[in-house]
Amino acid sequence: MQIALLGGTGDIGEGLALRLAYDTPHEVVVGSRKAEKAETKAEEYETELSSRGLDVTIGHGENPDAAAGADVVVLSVPAYHLADTVDSVADRLDRDAVLVSPAVGMKRDDAGLHYNPPGAGSVTQLAAQSAPADVPVVGAFHNLAAGRLANLDAELGWDVPVVGDDADAVSLIADVAAGIEGLRPLRAGGLENAAEVESLTALLINLAANNEGLHDLGVRFT
């Protein structure tokens, strides 16, 4: 499959690009608002993969060009860019494309980080509201620590809660997640259950901030 990572130059995009290219047979395309930035990062990822003996081509382009033709389009952009990003690619999406939303809205104050959902209830639901009516949206990859994800030497051992209202789309994205070594996809319900998944990200960051020796945390349900 072809997987486009919009905002694939950012930290979570980088980790997903490297892991997908390294662990799976999928074709990875990095999108950005600026074509040049996408090209620079794609070359960087290729160099990193090549240093590990994997010679692979990472596609690149402006977000709408990256999205065109992709089977899976991951919105790896900050939550406040999400609706704009969906709008910018909407008329270029493949008719069978699945959108994936990994973004989380958070705010920081003196007490730490807090989950800060948009009016839609969750960022994943905001993505679904923004998407064309016939394009399914799946929430996944919210709880991955970007630094560890992007370090191919690091073992993960993490669970990936997946939410969505379209069962086929959820299965497809669960399969994509399962293709990455050390990730186990788990069904967490429909889009209305996304808030609890996104909220967990703030907890992970608070736990890392308050416990010596813990950093780049993910989660395992057991």
Please report whether residue 211 would count as binding a second copy according to CB under 8 A. yes
Given candidates 90, 115, 151, 154, which one binds a second copy under the rule CB under 8 A?
115
Cα→Cα distances 132→116, 128, 163, 194, Å: 25, 8, 18, 19
Given candidates 71, 94, 166, 196, which one binds a second copy under the rule CB under 8 A?
196
Please report whether residue 214 would count as binding a second copy according to CB under 8 A. yes
Given candidates 120, 146, 154, 207, which one binds a second copy under the rule CB under 8 A?
207
Strand order in the sheet with 158-164: 59-62, 27-32, 2-6, 72-75, 98-101, 137-139, 158-164, 183-187
Among the listed residues 43, 5, 53, the one whose alpha carbon sits nearest the alpha carbon of residue 26: 5
* Single-letter residue type at 177: A
Among the listed residues 12, 143, 15, 13, the one whose alpha carbon sits nearest the alpha carbon of residue 66: 13
| Site map (CB under 8 A) of a second copy, residues 3-42, x = contact | ----------------------------------------
Please report whether residue 204 would count as binding a second copy according to CB under 8 A. yes
Q: Given the rule CB under 8 A, which of 36-44, 86-94, 132-140, 205-213 is the region that contacts a second copy?
A: 205-213
Q: Given the rule CB under 8 A, which of 43-51, 63-71, 89-97, 189-197 is the region that contacts a second copy?
A: 189-197
